[in-house]
Amino acid sequence: MLTPLKVDPTTFDEGSVGYFRYGMVGDKVLLTNDVGEHLFLTPEEFRRFIAGQVQADEPLYANLRKRYFLKRDLDVEQFATKLRRKKAFLQNGPHLHAIVTTLRCNHACRYCHASRTDMTATDTDMSLETARKVVDFAFRSPTPVLGFEFQGGEPTANFPVIRFVVDYALEKNRYENKELLLSTVTNLTLMDEEKMHFLLDRGVSICTSLDGPADLHDKNRGWMEKQSSHATVTGWMDKFNAEWVRRGFDPDLFHVDALMTTTRASLSRGRDIVDEYVNRGIRSLHLRPLNPFGFAVNTWQQVGYTMDEFLAFYRSTLDYIIELNRKGVFVQERLASVFLTKMFTPDDPNYSDCRSPCGSGSAQLAYNFDGSIYTDDEGRMAAHMGNDFFKLGHVDTSSFDEILRHPTVKALKVASIQDALPACHSCVHKPTCGVQPLHNYMFDGDIFGQRPRSRKCQEFYGVQQYLYQLLSNDTDGSLERIFRRWTIQRSRPGTTPYAPASEVTA
Ligand code: SF4
């Protein structure tokens, strides 16, 4: 990850060169800056750029200028406006509230992140009284957009709490007037018609887990009943989707979303996984690596892999997704979309795992079944692994201010401001990247982590480097057109494109 092209400080023209980062992509020099602009230069153009030798009448000068790489002629006001917009996610309080309705689950997935208990452990069910306090607490957030997401265990195992929270939040919002987002992560195997209609009637969006074709999915996601989890999951996906159509909703916007987790068995199955998603009408696929959380720590030897192995899988699968797009089949990879949105649009998609500073405790909170409040769902999982460091308080005793000003929240912010982090501060990908201190902690026992050794850094660096590599060879602009399409998020009313579900397994 070291930049092989060295800048000679004696040739640097401080008067004309704006603030930038740089790195090599193939034989080109990639420039990036904090407002999300990028530009490829030849090494000779780069040499002339830093020496202040690019003349005002050259096309390169206009290119550098319009992307804010030149200090001379810089419109500071415009630059500041762009930067403010990029960091707009800092302006509101926590908007994502994950509610663990129960730890009970009828699955025993090989990589489970969710610290499940057996279906008999009803003492891990949230009570209605606690659920009411959670909703009241969450509504204290100043955010104009408020999202509740049900997680577990399998959250529908405690459906009375889902029912209560949905109806209570909808009722409360008649006076609060926030944009209310309701969603549930579910393995769909405890679904029935009555629950389905309740969720659809109230606009609750559904996100399930689908790891690929039946053999792969069922290998990863063991079900206690010994039936095929895949058959049940896809059966309910079809039912939900048909019901949305029957009610007159646009199927491009209203359908069951799904998440996949990459195990060792997935590494040779990229095309099969993409085909499974496309054939089921799902147009957004997140190629998620395993996290070192929960049961996965114990089963890492069987299901784990190196980051190099994952990135090889990612690149070949992304190539296939692009190939489909070139044939007119729209499907996007979600992490690529996050980075591309940062590269090609004035906005940041506010994806919690890829922000600076991170959203733990400030953009999202997680509520355990007993009313304990955590920085996020990863913080709650850490507690189940024996470390309560990320617990911020309890709905019975904590005020909203105490939670937001909690020393742990502050520590997580400090540990995720990339301008001040070794390696990130000078990394060419910093403007479009982000760090998640919880991942560092879970993997290295240290919220700061060590880049480039940290697993998330390797993943994000590898993905961004590959996207830029593809773009640097895009001579006719056809790939950029496909990538720009991936940045258009048509979110339906009541949903958000990057819900925290992206990192949680149902
Ligand atoms: S996390 Fe890694 S890839 Fe991202 S900015 Fe930091 S050093 Fe670069």
pLDDT tens, residue by residue, 349-398:
988 889 999 999 999 999 999 999 999 988 988 888 788 999 999 999 99
**426, 436, 461, best to mutate for ligand 1 pocket (most atoms within 8 Å of CB):** 461
Ligand 1 atom nearest to 464, measured from its CA: 3
CA 456 to ligand 1 centroid distance, Å: 8
Pair type for strands 107-109 and 96-100: unpaired
Pocket test for ligand 1, best of 424, 428, 443, 463 (most atoms within 8 A of CB): 424
Alpha-carbon gap, residue 38 to 291, rounded angstroms: 30
Nearest in space to 505 (alpha carbons), one of 340, 313, 293, 275: 293
Pocket residue to mutate for ligand 1, from 335, 354, 355, 427, most atoms within 8 A of Cβ = 427
How far is Cα 206 from Cα 254, in angstroms, rounded to an integer?
9
Domains of the chain: 9-86 (no CATH), 92-506 (3.20.20.70)
**φ, ψ for residue 461, nearest 5 deg:** -65, -45
What's the pLDDT at 240?
Answer: 95
Residue 141: which of 368, 437, 373, 411 has the closest Cα? 373
Kindly give the number of the ligand 1 atom that is closest to the alpha carbon of 433. 4
336 CA → ligand 1 middle, Å: 15
| Bigger pLDDT: 497 vs 79 | 79
Ligand 1 centroid from CA 281, angstroms: 34
Q: Pick from 419, 440, 457 the residue to mutate for probing ligand 1's pocket: most ligand atoms within 8 Å of its CB.
A: 457
Compute, in angstroms, the gap from residue 199 CA to the centroid of ligand 1.
40
pLDDT band per the 50, 70, 90 thresholds, residue 43: very high
Q: Show the 3-state SS of 334-388.
A: HHHHHHHHHHHCCCCCCCHHHCCCCCECCCEEEECCCCEEECCHHHHHHHHCCCC
Question: How far apart (Å, rounded) are the C-alpha atoms in residues 283 and 331?
Answer: 4
Cα(429) to centroid(ligand 1), Å: 6
Query: Is the per-residue pLDDT at 121 higher than 90?
Result: no
Joined together, the tokens standing for residue 281 give 């009408």
Measured between alpha carbons, how far is 364 from 202 in angstroms, rounded to an integer?
23
Ligand 1 center–CA 48 separation, angstroms: 27
**pLDDT mean across residues, the chain:** 90
pLDDT bucket at 497, cuts 50 / 70 / 90? very low
Average pLDDT score over residue span 292-298: 60
Q: State the pLDDT confidence band at 481, using cuts at 50, 70 and 90.
A: very high
Residue 340 CA to ligand 1 centre (angstroms): 16
Q: What distance in Å separates the CA atoms of residue 485 and residue 61, rounded to the nearest whole number?
A: 28
Residue 5: Cβ within 10 Å count: 11
Q: Which atom of ligand 1 is nearest to the CA of 427?
A: 8
| Mean predicted confidence (pLDDT) in 185-205 | 95
Q: Assign 298 a pLDDT band (cuts: 50, 70, 90).
A: low
Q: Which residue has the higher pLDDT, 106 or 90?
A: 90
Q: What is the DSSP string of 440-458?
A: HHHHHS-SS--TTTSHHHH
Burial of 175 (C-beta count, 10 Å sphere; 0-12/13-18/19+) = exposed
Nearest Cα neighbor of 233 from 251, 216, 253, 245 is 216
Could you identify the atom of ligand 1 that is nearest to the CA of residue 424? 6
Q: Which atom of ligand 1 is nearest to the CA of 456?
A: 1
pLDDT at 496 over 60: no
Q: Which pLDDT belongs to residue 490?
A: 66
**216-274 per-position pLDDT tens digit:** 988 887 765 667 789 889 999 999 999 999 999 988 888 899 899 999 999 999 999 99
List all residues whose CB is within 6 A of at least one atom of ligand 1: 418, 423-424, 427, 429-430, 433, 435, 451-452, 457, 460-461
| C-alpha of residue 1 to centroid of ligand 1, in Å | 10
Task: Decide: 204 and 493 in contact? Cβ < 8 Å.
Answer: no
Q: For the chain, what percent of residues have pLDDT higher than 90?
A: 71
Ligand 1 pocket test: which of 418, 447, 458 has the largest number of ligand atoms within 8 Å of its C-beta?
Answer: 418
Q: List the residue whose alpha carbon is closest to atom 3 of ligand 1.
A: 461
Give the pLDDT score at 353: 85
pLDDT of residue 295: 53
Among protein residues, the one with the nearest Cα to ligand 1's atom 5 is 430
Q: What is the mean pLDDT of residues 268-284?
A: 94
Give the model's confidence band at 117: pLDDT under 50 very low, under 70 low, under 90 confident, else very high: confident
**Stretch 79-90: mean pLDDT:** 93
Residue ID of nearest Cα to ligand 1 atom 1: 457
Q: Check whether 474 has a pLDDT greater than 80.
A: yes
Q: State residue 489's pLDDT score.
A: 74
Atom of ligand 1 nearest to the CA of 435: 1
Among 22, 358, 433, 463, the mutation site with the greatest number of ligand 1 atoms within 8 A of its Cβ is: 433
- Centre of ligand 1 to C-alpha 447, Å, is 15
Query: 């996601």: which residue's tokens?
Result: 221
Structural contact between residues 100 and 367, judged by C-beta atoms closer than 8 angstroms: yes
pLDDT of 417 > 90? The answer is yes
Q: How confident is the model at residue 2 (pLDDT cuts 50, 70, 90)?
A: very low
Is-contact 505 155, C-beta < 8 A?
no
Nearest alpha carbon, ligand 1 atom 2: 457
Closest atom of ligand 1 relative to the 421 alpha carbon: 6
Q: What is the C-alpha separation between 15 and 28, in angstroms, rounded?
A: 24
Ligand 1: centre distance to CA 220 (Å) = 30
Whole-number pLDDT of residue 294: 56
Q: Which atom of ligand 1 is nearest to the CA of 430?
A: 5
Residue 138 has pLDDT above 90, yes or no: yes
How many angstroms does the Cα of residue 57 sit away from the middle of ligand 1? Answer: 36
Which atom of ligand 1 is nearest to 428's Cα? 8
Tell me the two tokens of residue 497: 């494109």
- Indicate whether 296 pLDDT > 60: no
Taking residues 400-428, report their average pLDDT.
95
3-state helix, strand, coil in the chain (%, to 5): 45, 15, 40
Gap from CA of 253 to ligand 1 centroid (Å): 33
Query: Relative to the CA of 460, which ligand 1 atom is closest?
Result: 3
